Amino acid sequence: MSADNSCADVSVPLRNLLNSVQCVRDRVKDGESNESNGVFNLSNFWDTLMQAVKAASQEATKLSLAFSKPPLPTQEDGEKFAESIQKSVLALSTVYYWLPKSHGITLRRLVRDATAEVLDGIVQLVDVIVSSPLQSLSQEQLQSTGGVWSACDQFAHLPRDNRAAVLGVLASYIGVVKDAIEEMEQAQAESQDPFSDVLDDEDQDSRGNQDTYWSEEDRQLMAPCQGLMKASAACLRKLLSAVKANGNVSMPETVAQLDDLADISKEISPSVDDLVLSLYPPMDYSGVDQNVRRLDNLSFLSSSLRVSHVCLEADLNWVQFLNGALDHNLQKIKALIQGSS
């Protein structure tokens, strides 16, 4: 049999495998958990999931090695490799589906995304092999194999319960808000009208290059906007501390409360990011107003926090203080924007 015929023969089971893994991956991305009335053991789930991840990594490695140098595997061997990969893929996706929503939607999203990333890696690896199965190991095949390994390795770093999952996402939101605040402070320090100290007020009012610097009116509005961003960061930090100290995952009700807090918090960091963009000169007052209104989510977050299990009686004082800071800055921003129109 010629090399071309051999290549064509062995590509058939690989193409079928490619289609199969793509279907499994798409179902994982869109699918729901298999809720059941039986007892679910989270520790056993993780043990089984890690075994499935290890098996998927090993099978992907075997496939890559088999197609790393001539001679090519026979069609029969190709079918065996495809069958082994498919079994490992189905096992991994099946274990993922075991994780019920009652153990945390935040946790489940992280496990879903990690599972989908492994399947994406396997899809890419099989696609590379199907596209160029002959000769020596290609750079693309090396990278694809490494991509599967990397995706599998991240499972060791996933949070093991919903409290840890929520802490992780809150920390990421805090990082985004912190970066936005620092960006604006740096922009203020660097952006200065080069002629502001040599021209009188009348000359400055007549100048036409205000697209590159902030007017005095702009700077007045920036102060409460920065206060609002700092209050956002403080609110997220306090929430992180409360979840760390008091977060409870022993009951579905408390697990759901943690998910609600995480979902409400999710909108804060992009809103702060967009607020920073609208503050750059020339300042977009309507954009500032729109983004500030989006940060009304902070009031909803503090209200949800107040009635959740992570907020103890001793925490009510700082919740009330943050509410006051938020309201003060919001009202000041509203008055300045109305005064400018």
What pLDDT band is residue 128 in, cutting at 50, 70 and 90? very high
Range name among 52-66, 158-172, 288-302 with the lowest pLDDT average: 288-302
Output the pLDDT for position 163: 98
Token code pair at residue 54: 């290890």
Output the pLDDT for position 197: 47
In the 8-state DSSP scheme, what is residue 50? H
pLDDT digits (tens, 9 = 90+) for 29-60: 987 766 666 789 999 999 999 999 999 999 99
Per-residue CA distances from 107 to 90, 213, 226 (Å): 21, 45, 32
Per-residue CA distances from 61 to 54, 138, 171 (Å): 11, 14, 34
Do 105 and 259 contact (CB within 8 A), yes or no? yes
Mean pLDDT (the chain) is 88
Range name among 128-132, 246-250, 307-311 with the lowest pLDDT average: 128-132
What pLDDT band is residue 6 in, cutting at 50, 70 and 90? low
Output the pLDDT for position 207: 46
The yes-or-no verdict on residue 302 having pLDDT over 90 is no
Domain range 162-340, CATH architecture: Up-down Bundle (1.20)
pTM, two decimal places: 0.87
The yes-or-no verdict on residue 172 having pLDDT over 90 is yes
What pLDDT band is residue 199 in, cutting at 50, 70 and 90? very low
Q: Where are the domains of the chain?
A: 3-156, 162-340
Output the pLDDT for position 20: 97
Query: Long-range contact list for 200-204, CB < 8 A, 24+ apart?
Result: none
Cα-only R_g, the chain: 27
- Homologous superfamily in CATH for domain 3-156: Talin, central domain (1.20.1420.10)
- What does the pLDDT average to over 268-273? 93
The yes-or-no verdict on residue 307 having pLDDT over 70 is yes
Output the pLDDT for position 323: 87
Share above pLDDT 70 across residues of the chain, in percent, rounded to a whole number = 88
* C-alpha–C-alpha distance, residues 241 and 246, integer Å: 8
Output the pLDDT for position 190: 80
For 93, residues 6+ apart whose C-beta sits below 8 A from its C-beta are: 24, 27, 28, 115, 119
